[in-house]
Each structure stands twice: as structure tokens, then as C-alpha cells.
């Protein structure tokens, strides 16, 4: 029996994690579930799983949460600090599925307990990858990647043969606009951007997939998680999203992980690791699938890819600035304040205007993050004016 925390339990990854945990009540006991403010989903999940604690990051929602859990015996807390406290409760296994850099402190709080911390939440790894991996080493925590590409690499990469790795190849679906002209992309609406052809995901990552910033963030995430140089990480468009990523060894062997486009596959890998567990997904039907296609990404139409590549090459504060300005721009796009192509333009502008020294501490990263958000916010206001 393993004790489990799910940070971001009401989101797309959180819900997939709950689905697997609830199918195996003999194997998992839920300790804490957290959300931002979706009290209805959070309370329902806490009651279904008989969790010990439910937490809302937005303190204004605590009263509603308490009312929803009245008489259940499930404790309720609220506020960003309460999310960190819940993450630090010493559970054996924690899923980090908060969206954005808001997950950074809770992720570190979980890591400091020394258990298994599963990272779906990629933005903290982009902004503070070195701090997160150093904390895991210091506290003896096991980091497992749930992002499907990184989980695939984790499955294909033999740590004893790192020196024999030629390339890591991240696959990308290309998103809903992979065949669109720039002119057409200029008029994309939020509803079109969140309709991903292969995956069902939260709004922010869906927009990131549409701009291909998601693949840029994943490039930086891979450089943080795996001991390879950024120039060893390549991106290839693979429309079917069946191969989730590959490792190319010097002898010409290329190992790939294949699976259905359902996050429950990599999450199940992390839940059972180093064992395996059954999932409800049907096995891949290769004959029905018929073919697998690969193309080069177009970094002219998807400039986010070049911005991320430059940021990972330069290192220092660049990835944190890229991530923070992207979070602001995506939120503004989803709110209808800016156009689709303005997302990458705002990230580019923020990177050009802000070039601080490399942040070495968590506080320094958070300062860079805050400053980049402020500057990107100014650009959003210019676009609206």
C-alpha cells in the first residue's frame, strides 16, 4: 500500500491519475488532493477516494470547500502555503500536476520529503531545472517524468550507457495548426487552439501545443532531466503521436516507446515503477495504424521552437524568462486579449528586453519569473491599447 498525494487533482493529468489510483484501492491510499479553486471536482474526488486532506490554493474558495466536505471527516485547508504543507506530508508518491510555475514551491516541498515525485508539471523544470534536480539528489527523492515524451526517454535510456547516446529525439504532433499558413494562424481563436488533434489536455498546454512552445518547453525539460547536451536533443514531427520519443545510440540502434495517446500510460508507468501495472487502454493495433510518419518541424511558422532552442543553449535566466512570459501571453490569449501570433512575439520581446544574471537560488529564479511576468504583462497591455 503506497500513500499518494495529487497536486493539481482537478486538472487533466490529475483526473487521469485519480482514475488509475481509484482502480487499485488495494494498492494506493490517498492522503492529499489539491486544486486552485475547483471545489466541486476537488470535494467529489476527496470523498470518492476518502482522502485525508483537500486543499484549495485560492484561499477565497476555502469556505465553499469546508461546506462541501462538512461531515465527511476530510480536512480542508486553503492558500499557497497550505498546498506546500500538503506536499510536505511525507506521502510515498506525489503527482505534480499543477499548471505553470505555481507548481514550483509545492514540487520542491514534496522533493524535500525524499519520496517519489512524479513530474507532469513541466514549467518548474524549465525555470528551475538545476534547483529541482539538485534538491532531489540532496534529499534522496526519486524524480519520475510523467510528460509522455520524457517518460518515453526514461524508459529507453539506459543510465549505464549515457556515454553511448548519440541523440534523444522528441516527437511532436505539430498541434492543430501544423498545416496552416501564418496568415491563417493570425486569426486563430482560443476555441480552435485548445482543440488538439490527438490529446485531451488542459487549456494552457493545449495552447502551448498549438504554438509548439510545448515542444520548446519539453526540449528544456529534457535537458534538465537527462545528462545530455541540448544539441543532442532533436525534435521531429510525428503526426500520429504513437511513438512518444526515441533514444539513438552510437551503434545505430534507436529505441522508441510506443503507446496510445492517453496520459494514463505514462502515469501508470510512474505509479507502478519499477514494476508495471495494467491499464484500461486497449493495446495499440499496429496493423490498423498502418504507417508512422515523420517530418521536420517548421521553426519559421512556429518561432517558439527557435526561442526555446536559443534559451536552452544560452541557459542562465533565459529559460525562466521564456516560461514566465509565455505563461502571461497564453493567459492573455485565452482571455481574448491578444492574437495567437502575439504569444511568441511577446515571449521574444521579453527575452530581448530582459537579460539578468543567471539565477542561482530559488528566490533569484522567482525574482526573474516575477520580473519577466511584469514585462510581458506590459506588452499585453500595449497589444490591447
Residues that bind ligand NDP (CB under 6 A): 8-14, 35-38, 57, 83, 97-99, 102, 120-123, 147, 199, 201-205, 263
Could you give the angle at the alpha carbon of 151 between the alpha carbons of 2 and 227, nearest 5°? Answer: 110
Four-CA torsion 277, 281, 286, 289, nearest 10 degrees: -150
- All three cell numbers of 230: 541540448
Place of cell 488538439: 196
Nearest CA among 58, 55, 87, 59 for reference residue 74:
55
Name which of 241 and 350 has its Cβ closer to ligand NDP: 241
Largest CA distance in the chain: 62
Name which of 217 and 228 has its Cβ closer to ligand NDP: 217
Name which of 88 and 138 has its Cβ closer to ligand NDP: 88
Name which of 121 and 155 has its Cβ closer to ligand NDP: 121
Name which of 258 and 358 has its Cβ closer to ligand NDP: 258
Least Å distance, CB 79 to ligand NDP, is: 10
Q: Provide the pairing of β-strand 75-78 with 93-96.
A: unpaired
Least Å distance, CB 50 to ligand NDP, is: 19
Least Å distance, CB 266 to ligand NDP, is: 8
Q: What's the sign of the alpha-carbon dihedral 248, 249, 252, 258?
A: negative
Per DSSP (E only), the strands in the chain are 2-7, 28-35, 53-56, 75-78, 93-96, 116-119, 142-145, 165-172, 233-237, 243-249, 254-258
Least Å distance, CB 225 to ligand NDP, is: 13
Name which of 133 and 383 has its Cβ closer to ligand NDP: 133
Q: Is 362 exposed, middle or buried (0-12, 13-18, 19+ CB in 10 A)?
A: middle
Least Å distance, CB 231 to ligand NDP, is: 24
Least Å distance, CB 123 to ligand NDP, is: 5
Residue with smallest beta-carbon separation from ligand NDP: 11
Q: Provide the pairing of β-strand 165-172 with 243-249.
A: antiparallel
Name which of 166 and 261 has its Cβ closer to ligand NDP: 261
Evaluate whether 204 touches 99 at the Cβ level (below 8 Å): yes
Least Å distance, CB 66 to ligand NDP, is: 16
Name which of 7 and 317 has its Cβ closer to ligand NDP: 7
Nearest CA among 216, 226, 257, 234 for reference residue 145:
226
Q: Is the peptide bond before 58 cis (omega within 30 degrees of 0)?
A: no
Name which of 77 and 121 has its Cβ closer to ligand NDP: 121
CA distance 75 to 65: 10
Name which of 6 and 250 has its Cβ closer to ligand NDP: 6
φ/ψ of 98, rounded to 5, equals: -75, 150
Least Å distance, CB 24 to ligand NDP, is: 21
DSSP string, 302-346: -HHHHHHHHHHHH-TTHHHHHHHHHHHHHHHHHTTSS-HHHHHHH
CA distance 98 to 8: 4
Amino acid at each position: 500500500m503506497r500513500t499518494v498525494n495529487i497536486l493539481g487533482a482537478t486538472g487533466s493529468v490529475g483526473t487521469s491519475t485519480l482514475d488509475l489510483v481509484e482502480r487499485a484501492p488495494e494498492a494506493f491510499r490517498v492522503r492529499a488532493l489539491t486544486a486552485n479553486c475547483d471545489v466541486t471536482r476537488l470535494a467529489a474526488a476527496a470523498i470518492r477516494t476518502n482522502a485525508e486532506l483537500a486543499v484549495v490554493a485560492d484561499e477565497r474558495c476555502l469556505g465553499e470547500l469546508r461546506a462541501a466536505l462538512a461531515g465527511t471527516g476530510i480536512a480542508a485547508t486553503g492558500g499557497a502555503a497550505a498546498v506546500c504543507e500538503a506536499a510536505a506530508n511525507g506521502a510515498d508518491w506525489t503527482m505534480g500536476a499543477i499548471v505553470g510555475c505555481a507548481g514550483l514551491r509545492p514540487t520542491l516541498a514534496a522533493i524535500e520529503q525524499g519520496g517519489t515525485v512524479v513530474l507532469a508539471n513541466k514549467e518548474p523544470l524549465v525555470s528551475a531545472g538545476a534547483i529541482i534536480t539538485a534538491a532531489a539528489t540532496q534529499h534522496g527523492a526519486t524524480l519520475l517524468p510523467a510528460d509522455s515524451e520524457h517518460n518515453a526517454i526514461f524508459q529507453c535510456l539506459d543510465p549505464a550507457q549515457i556515454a553511448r547516446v548519440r541523440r534523444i529525439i522528441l516527437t511532436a504532433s505539430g498541434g492543430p495548426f501544423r498545416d496552416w499558413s501564418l496568415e491563417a494562424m493570425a486569426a486563430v481563436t482560443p476555441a480552435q487552439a485548445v482543440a488538439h488533434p490527438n490529446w485531451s489536455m488542459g487549456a494552457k498546454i493545449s495552447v502551448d501545443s498549438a504554438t509548439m512552445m510545448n515542444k520548446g518547453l519539453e526540449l528544456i525539460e529534457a535537458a534538465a532531466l537527462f545528462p545530455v547536451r541540448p544539441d543532442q536533443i532533436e525534435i521531429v514531427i510525428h503526426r500520429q503521436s504513437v511513438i512518444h520519443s526515441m533514444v539513438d545510440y552510437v551503434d545505430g540502434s534507436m529505441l522508441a516507446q510506443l503507446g496510445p495517446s492517453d496520459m494514463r500510460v505514462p502515469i501508470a508507468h510512474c505509479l507502478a515503477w519499477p514494476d508495471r501495472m495494467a491499464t484500461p487502454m486497449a493495446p495499440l493495433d499496429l496493423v490498423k495504424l498502418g504507417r508512422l510518419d515523420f517530418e521536420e518541424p517548421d521553426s519559421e511558422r512556429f518561432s517558439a521552437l527557435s526561442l526555446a532552442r536559443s534559451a536552452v543553449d544560452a541557459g542562465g535566466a533565459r529559460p525562466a524568462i521564456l516560461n514566465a512570459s509565455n505563461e502571461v501571453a497564453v493567459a492573455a490569449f485565452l482571455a481574448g486579449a491578444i492574437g495567437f501570433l502575439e504569444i511568441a512575439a511577446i515571449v521574444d520581446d521579453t527575452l530581448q528586453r530582459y537579460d539578468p544574471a543567471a539565477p542561482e537560488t530559488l528566490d533569484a529564479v522567482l525574482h526573474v519569473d516575477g520580473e519577466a511576468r511584469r514585462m510581458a504583462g506590459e506588452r499585453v497591455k500595449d497589444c490591447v491599447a
